[in-house]
Amino acid sequence: MQYSIKDFYFWKITMSLAMASFFIFASMYAVQPLLPVFVGQFGVSVSTSSLSISLTIIGLIIGLIVLGFLSDRSGRTFFIKFSLVGSIIPFFLIPLVDSFVFLLVLRLIQGFALAGLPAASLAYISEEIDKRSVSVAMALYISSNALGGMLGRVLTGYITDHYSWEIAFYFLASVGVIILVAVFLMLPRSNRFEASNLSFSRDIEGFLFHLKNPALLLVFGLGIVLQFSFTGLWTYLPFYLEGPPFTLSLQIISYTFFAYGLGVVGSPFAGWLAGKFGIRIVRIIGIITLGFGIFLTLSNSLVVLIIGLCITCLGFFTAHSLTAASVSEQATHHKGSASSLYLVAYYVGVALGSTAFGPIFSAVGWTGLVIVAGSIPILYIIFVTGVTKRRA
């Protein structure tokens, strides 16, 4: 039997995955406020420093494809636990290296390991939990993603400002060990998992089938564009805020990531609005909100800039959640692989946004970065609207 919200095992599963998700996403984005520190300590450029994020995401993308296939054959819980172990070890090793190249290699490996959780957890939830209760488990899991990403940035910034980034990494590793022990003790084994008997070639055929669907390609492209602009803004925000006219400390800069808290509110709110007005209309509103929030960060007023960051997060999580939801509507077959492809596209946007904006920021500063980041999602939705009308 599948577990319902009334079952003790339902809460063991949801709390285990929520804790694991919190740590995985905290690990993924923990270095974002530390990029200026890496520039100063290792003597690298701004763009090179940003590779500590983008290479992690590249490792994650590879891991999503490889570990996603393997989890369909070898079970779910092993890859969830593997993800935690593989994420913890680099945090113990990175402070010991003197070369930024070795730091990047370890972050790439860590990114691959991070993928074990998202590659297996959603399938695990859908297999073990009753359909009437699965939405609660999914909501807790996704909220933990946003919470982990937010607090991972805030904690590393705060600890680094008071002690050092090495201490921040050791702290994260220690939290990871505690969560790992809890997950090992709490996470139930799979009872309803059925190993896939399809060949890898058949799986890849199903995976690539969606690339022939023009409607899905537009959705995947939107996933890239949304994350490209959003990640680009947040990646280079610390460099902007540490200089004039703000000259903020790393601790204060890290507090700006509390704006991510609107992600916990934005996703369910967007779902409620979409039920009343439709996915397409609310998604367009979310994209316009995203662009408006980004442009507000051009203000020299710190209060207005923070308001802009909050509006940016609300618009982004609204647009992203509805774009992800529309994948299953557009896919006629292999809905699971369609969702995986969207996730890959989403993280391609993260990798591009964290590095591609480096030359723009170096050449034309924050103003140029904001103009590009704020314009691209709006221009893309205009393009998509035009293509959709021509196809109709």
Q: Supply φ then ψ for residue 199, to 5 degrees.
A: -75, 160
Q: How far is residue 319's CA from residue 277's CA, in Å, rounded to a whole number?
A: 14
pLDDT of residue 273: 79
Residues 315 and 286: beta-carbon distance below 8 Å: yes
Dihedral sign for Cα atoms in the order 295, 300, 303, 304: negative
Distance CA 213, CA 251 (A): 46
Confidence at residue 336, expressed as pLDDT on a 0 to 100 scale = 58
C-alpha dihedral sign at 196, 198, 204, 207: negative
CA dist., res. 179 & res. 207, Å (int)? 33
pLDDT confidence of residue 139 = 66
Q: Going by C-beta distance under 8 Å and a sequence separation of 6 or more, which residues neighbour residue 367?
A: 298
CA distance 224 to 228: 6
Model pLDDT, residue 317 = 83
If the chain, 392 residues long, is cut into consecutive pieces of 10 residues, what is the mean pLDDT of each piece? 78 91 93 92 91 92 84 82 95 95 96 89 79 71 82 92 95 96 91 70 72 84 94 93 92 90 74 78 92 96 96 89 72 63 86 89 94 95 84 64
257 DSSP assignment: G
Q: Which residues of 294-331 are buried (b: 16+ CB within 10 A; e: fewer)?
A: bbbbeeeeeeebbbbbbbbbbbbbbbbbbbbebbeebb
Contact 185, 26 (CB under 8 A): no
**CB 144 within 8 Å of CB 19:** yes
**What's the residue count for the chain?**
392
For residue 278, give the 3-state DSSP assignment: coil
Are residues 88 and 176 in contact, defined by beta-carbon separation less than 8 angstroms?
yes
Determine the pLDDT at residue 329: 65
Q: Are 300 and 353 in contact (CB under 8 A)?
A: no
- At 170 the pLDDT is 97
d(CA 94, CA 104): 9
User: Tell me: the pLDDT tens digits for 248-276?
Assistant: 998 899 899 899 888 777 767 776 777 77
